[in-house]
Amino acid sequence: MSLSVLIILPLLTAIALLLCNGFRQVRVVALSGAVVQLIYVLWLLGAYWQQRPAGNAAAILFEEDLTWFASLNIHYHVGIDGIAIAMILLTALVTVAGILVSWPVEKLSKEFFFLLVLLSLGAYGFFISLDLFTLFFFLEVAVIPKFLLIGIWGSGRSSYSAMKLALLLMGGSALVFVGLAGIYFNTPTANGPTFDLLQIAQAGISTDVQELFFPFAFIGFGIFTALFPFHTWVPDGHSSAPTAASMFLAGISMKLGGYGCLRMALLMPAAAQSYSGIIIVLATIAIIYGAFATMMQTDLKYINAYSSVSHCGFVLLGIGMLTKTAMMGAVLQMVSHGLMTALFFAAIGMLYDRTHTRQVAQLGGLLKVMPFIATVFVIAGLCSLGLPGLSGFVAEVTVFMGAWQREDAWYRLATILACASIVVTAVYILRAMGKVIMGPLLVEGTGSLLQQGHVLSDARWNEKLAAVLLIIGIVAIGVAPFWLTELIN
Amino acid sequence: MNASDILFYLISAFVLGTAVLAVTANKIFRSAIWLLFSLVGVAALYFWMQVEFVAAVQIIVYVGGVVVLIIFSIFLTQQSGSKMPKPPLKRTLFFILAVLLGFAFSYKIIAEYGFASAGPVKPFVVPVSAIGEQMLDTKQHGFVLPFEVVSMLLLAAMIGCIVIAMRSVPKGKTIQKHTATVGGFGTSNNLTDVPAASTTPDEVSIMEEKAT
Amino acid sequence: MNYSSYITLIPLLPLAGFIILGLFGKSLTRSAGILGTFLLLVSTVLAFYTAYNYFFVSGKINGIYPPVTALHYTWLSFSPGLSIDMGVLVDPASVMMLVVVTFISLMVHLFSLGYMKGEDRFATYYAFLGLFTFSMLGLVLSTNLLQIYIFWELVGVSSFLLIGFYYDRPAAVAAAKKAFIVTRFADLGFLIGILILAYYGGTLDFNMLIYRLTATNLSPLTQTPQIGFMGISLLTWALVLVFIGGAGKSAMFPLHIWLPDAMEGPTPVSALIHAATMVVAGVYLVARLYPVYLLDEAVLQIITWVGALSALLAAIIACTQTDIKRVLAYSTISQIGYMLFALGLSGYGDTATGYSASLFHLFTHAFFKSLLFLGAGAVIHFVHTNEIREMGGLRKLMPLTHITFLIACLAIAGIPPFAGFFSKEEILLAAWENNRFGYILGLVTSGLTAYYMFRLYFRIFWNRTPSYSNHHGEGSWTMKGPLLVLAAAAITVGFIPFPHFVAVNGQEEITVPLRFSIAPVAVAIAGITIAYVLYFKNNPLPRKWALAFRGMYKLVRHKFYFDELYLFITKKIVFNGIAKPAAWIDRHLVDGFMNGAGWATTRLSESIKALQSGSVQNYMLYVFGSIIALAAVFIYWT
Amino acid sequence: MSSIPLTHILFVSTALFFIGVYGLFTRRNLITMLMAIELMLNSVNINFVAFNKYLYPHTLNGVFFSLFIITVAAAEAAVAIAIIINLYRNHRSIDVEDAQEMKY
pLDDT at A282: 92
Whether residue C145 lies inside any domain: the answer is: no
pLDDT at B81: 65
pLDDT, tens digit (0-9, with 9 covering 90-100), for A372-386: 888 999 999 999 988
Tell me, what DSSP letter sits at residue B138? Answer: -
Smallest Cβ–Cβ distance between D12 and the set B15, B28, B57 belongs to B15
What is the DSSP code string of C62-117? TTBPPPEEEEEEEEEEEETTEEEEEEEEE-HHHHHHHHHHHHHHHHHHHHHHHHTT
pLDDT at B175: 47
pLDDT at B201: 44
Cβ within 8 Å of residue C38, ≥6 positions away: none
How many angstroms from the chain centroid is the CA of residue D55?
23
Mark yes or no for CB contact B205/A111 under 8 Å: no
Domain boundary among C491, C519, C550: C550
Residues C540 and C567 in one domain: no
Q: Which residues of A251-267 are buried (b: 16+ CB within 10 A; e: fewer)?
A: bbbbbbbbbbbbbbbeb
> Coil, strand, or helix at residue A368?
coil
What is the DSSP code string of A413-466? HHHHHHHHHHHHHHHHHHHHHHHHTSSS-EE-TTHHHHHTT-------HHHHHH
Residue A224's nearest CA partner among A147, A165, A282, A144 is A165
Whether residue D104 lies inside any domain: the answer is: no
pLDDT, tens digit (0-9, with 9 covering 90-100), for B80-132: 667 777 778 888 899 899 899 889 988 888 888 877 655 555 677 788 888 88
Residues C602 and C524 in one domain: no
Residue C125's nearest CA partner among C156, C166, C153 is C166
Q: Is the predicted pLDDT of residue D95 greater than 60, yes or no?
A: yes
Residue type, A106: E
Chain C residue with CA closest to D101: the answer is C614
Residues C367 and C408 in one domain: yes
Residues C366 and C497 in one domain: yes
Smallest Cβ–Cβ distance between A152 and the set B191, B202, B205 belongs to B191
Tell me, what DSSP letter sits at residue C472? Answer: S
- Whole-angstrom Cα distance, residue A369 to residue A192? 66
Mark yes or no for CB contact C75/A289 under 8 Å: no
pLDDT, tens digit (0-9, with 9 covering 90-100), for A345-373: 999 998 888 888 888 888 888 888 888 88
Q: Which residues does chain C have within 8 Å of residue A368's beta carbon, measured at their own beta carbons? A: 168
- Whole-angstrom Cα distance, residue D79 to residue A225? 54
Whether residue D74 lies inside any domain: the answer is: yes
Residue C214's nearest CA partner among C229, C196, C199, C197 is C197
N-terminal to C-terminal alpha carbon distance within chain A = 22
Domain that residue D46 falls in: 6-98
Q: How many CB atoms lie within 10 A of CB A329?
A: 31
Using 70 as the pLDDT threshold, list the residues of chain B that sit under it. Answer: 1, 78-81, 116-122, 167-212
Q: CA torsion C176→C180→C182→C188, rounded to 10°?
A: 180
Using 70 as the pLDDT threshold, list the residues of chain C that sit under it. Answer: 1-4, 62-63, 216-231, 347-352, 466-474, 504-512
Chains B and A touch (3+ CB pairs under 8 A): yes
Smallest Cβ–Cβ distance between C615 and the set D21, D24, D97 belongs to D97
Q: How many CB atoms lie within 10 A of CB C583?
A: 20
The more confidently predicted of residues C503 and A257 is A257
pLDDT, tens digit (0-9, with 9 covering 90-100), for C455-498: 888 888 877 776 666 566 667 777 888 888 888 888 888 888 77
Cβ within 8 Å of residue B105, ≥6 positions away: C628, C631, C632
Residues C478 and C513 in one domain: yes
pLDDT at C349: 60
Whether residue B22 lies inside any domain: the answer is: no
pLDDT at A445: 59
Mark yes or no for CB contact D88/B76 under 8 Å: yes
Mark yes or no for CB contact B61/D94 under 8 Å: no
Residues C428 and C518 in one domain: yes
Q: Is some CB atom of chain C closer than 8 A to the CB atom of A13?
A: no
Q: Is some CB atom of chain B closer than 8 A to the CB atom of A153?
A: yes
Radius of gyration of chain A (CA): 22
Averaged confidence pLDDT in chain C: 83
Q: Is some CB atom of chain B closer than 8 A to the CB atom of D96?
A: no
Smallest Cβ–Cβ distance between B204 and the set A107, A159, A460 belongs to A107
Contact between residue C138 and residue C152 where contact means Cβ atoms under 8 Å apart: no
- Whole-angstrom Cα distance, residue B25 to residue D54? 35
Chains D and A touch (3+ CB pairs under 8 A): no
How many angstroms from the chain centroid is the CA of residue A37?
18
Burial class of residue B190 (count of CB atoms within 10 Å of its CB; 0-12, 13-18, 19+)? exposed
- Whole-angstrom Cα distance, residue A428 to residue A417? 17
ipTM above threshold 0.95: no
* Boundaries of every domain in chain A: 287-489
CA angle D58, D64, D68 (to 5 degrees): 170
Mark yes or no for CB contact D25/C617 under 8 Å: yes
Q: How many domains does chain D have?
A: 1
Smallest Cβ–Cβ distance between B185 and the set A23, A103, A151 belongs to A151
- Whole-angstrom Cα distance, residue C134 to residue C49? 18
Q: Is some CB atom of chain B closer than 8 A to the CB atom of D99?
A: no
Averaged confidence pLDDT in chain B: 77
CATH number at residue D26: 1.10.287.3510
Averaged confidence pLDDT in chain A: 87
Mark yes or no for CB contact B110/D39 under 8 Å: no
Task: Show which residues on chain C lie within 8 Å of chain D, measured between beta carbons.
Answer: 609-610, 612-617, 620-621, 624
pLDDT at A488: 79
How many angstroms from the chain centroid is the CA of residue B176?
29
Residues C543 and C581 in one domain: no
CA angle A66, A71, A72 (to 5 degrees): 80
Whether residue B142 lies inside any domain: the answer is: yes
pLDDT at B182: 41
- Whole-angstrom Cα distance, residue C23 to residue A464? 13
pLDDT at B118: 53
The more confidently predicted of residues A445 and C207 is C207
Q: How many domains does chain B have?
A: 1
Smallest Cβ–Cβ distance between C635 and the set B102, B109, B182 belongs to B109
Q: Is the predicted pLDDT of residue A297 greater than 60, yes or no?
A: yes
pLDDT at D43: 94
Q: How many domains does chain C have?
A: 2
Whether residue D57 lies inside any domain: the answer is: yes
Q: Is the predicted pLDDT of residue A175 greater than 90, yes or no?
A: yes
Instruction: Count Cα atoms within 13 angstroms, Cβ side, for A185.
Output: 7
The more confidently predicted of residues A435 and B80 is A435
Whether residue D103 lies inside any domain: the answer is: no
Domain that residue C525 falls in: 306-550
Whether residue C569 lies inside any domain: the answer is: yes
Domain that residue B134 falls in: 127-168
Residue A30's nearest CA partner among A42, A44, A12, A8 is A12
Residues C313 and C420 in one domain: yes
Q: Which residues does chain B have within 8 Å of residue C635's beta carbon, measured at their own beta carbons? A: 109
Residues C409 and C492 in one domain: yes
